A and B are shown apart, each in its own frame.
Chain A
Amino acid sequence: MTKAQHIDWLLSLADDALILGQRLSEWCGHAPALEEDIALSNIALDLIGQSRALLSHAGRLEGAGRDEDRLAFFRSDREYRNLLLVELPNGHFGDTIARQFFYDQFALIRYTHLAQQTFDSEVAAIATKALKEVRYHAAHSAEWMIRLGDGTELSKARIQESVDRLWPFTGECFQEHTILDAAIASGAMPDRSRAQNTWNESVGAVLNQATLTKPEGSWKQSGGRDGLHTEHLSYMLAEMQVLPRLHPEAKW
């Protein structure tokens, strides 16, 4: 992996966490129950924490004086490297849970590998901590998938619809990509097909327990890793970045 590739790879890890954390933080104060409000905020906090550590690391590696905030607030949507999945709007609680579930299962596989790889020891340290968090997130989203799937008729219909709609966005997790391929070749990322198999198995098992149908379609929406996003990301960044952009010389 070249240094530029290394940085891009770090940004892809960081951006997944930051964008999903930002999305989840929109729930704060609006969740279906107080207990769930606290749970979603906790997950958002974990994700933002992961992104900060990864962005700082990327900035240091780059050596151009960009810190976590510079990277978060002064990159355009075209420079963001996150999966399309994580930038999709929250929708209803079921949409949020399905999105989280698909991502958590992916993050679990990815962080498990990141914690063990020796290519980047700083990432290994971040991943070791993150893995504990992600295990909890994965349990949380799976428990909810099961409750919504095997709950009422209404909830089953809604969550199945969420699953079907989000499904095309899951393929991007395992898609071929120059930078990620370089990372895989360096041992920094898990083997693609093995990771995808593991993901398919664990996602299938939970959907099965949730009495839901696993979609068959193989069409993939992608582009996020190259900065080609959905229409939603630019709006999200406009909101997220407004203050630092308006007051570029200010410290907060």
Chain B
Amino acid sequence: MSNQSPDWPLWEVFVRSRQGLSHKHVGSLHASDATMAIANARDVYTRRQEGVSIWVIPAEAISASSPADKDILFDPANDKVYRHPTFYKLPDEVKNM
């Protein structure tokens, strides 16, 4: 019976769809180890030429920011518009900057 040994752990899968793009989270799967996880990810998530590179990460190894902290983590950036280039008005004479 499967309860006698631990179930295959969960892995999060990240796929680079093209050279030059970063890896993007596509989903998860179960596998006994990293080698099998990559093989399975290839079969599960790139059957239609969706990728050129795969990362797998044990789901339990991911630390995430808490959704409840969304406000304190991300709202303070709202009023710092001076970080964006569009904040700065340039004289018309300056064409490219």
Contact = CB atoms under 8 A, between A and B. Distances in A.
A162 to B, nearest CB: 19
From B32, B43, B44, name the one whose CB has the most chain A CB atoms within 10 angstroms: B43
A143 B35 contact: yes
Contacts of A34: 30
A42 B30 CA distance: 18
A33 interface: yes
A35 B44 contact: yes
A33 B8 contact: yes
Chain B's interface size range is: 10 to 19
Interface string B18-43: 00000000000111100110011001
A35 B35 contact: no
Nearest to A140: B39
A137 B66 CA distance: 42
Contacts, number: 27
A157 interface: no
B47 A35 contact: no
Contacts of A205: none
Contact of A38 (B8, B32, B36, B40): B40
Nearest to B33: A147
A139 interface: yes
A139 B30 CA distance: 19
Q: Is the interface of A mostly helix, strand, loop or mixed?
A: helix
Contacts of B40: 35-36, 38-39
Contact of B30 (A33, A39, A140, A147): A33
B13 to A, nearest CB: 11
Contacts of B36: 35, 143, 147
A139 B39 contact: yes
A166 to B, nearest CB: 23
Interface in A5-36: 33-36
Given A39-B39, A139-B39, A140-B39, A147 B32 contact: yes
A34 B40 CA distance: 10
Nearest to B32: A147
B43 A42 contact: yes
Contacts of B39: 39, 139-140, 143
Contacts of B8: 33
A39 to B, nearest CB: 5
Interface of A: 33-36, 38-39, 42, 139-140, 143, 147
Would you list the 4 A-B pairs with minimal beta carbon distance, nearest first? A35-B40, A38-B43, A39-B43, A42-B43
Given A38-B44, A139-B39, A140-B39, 7 more contacts: A33-B30, A35-B30, A35-B31, A35-B40, A36-B40, A38-B47, A143-B35
8 contacts: A34-B30, A35-B29, A35-B31, A35-B36, A35-B43, A36-B40, A140-B39, A147-B36
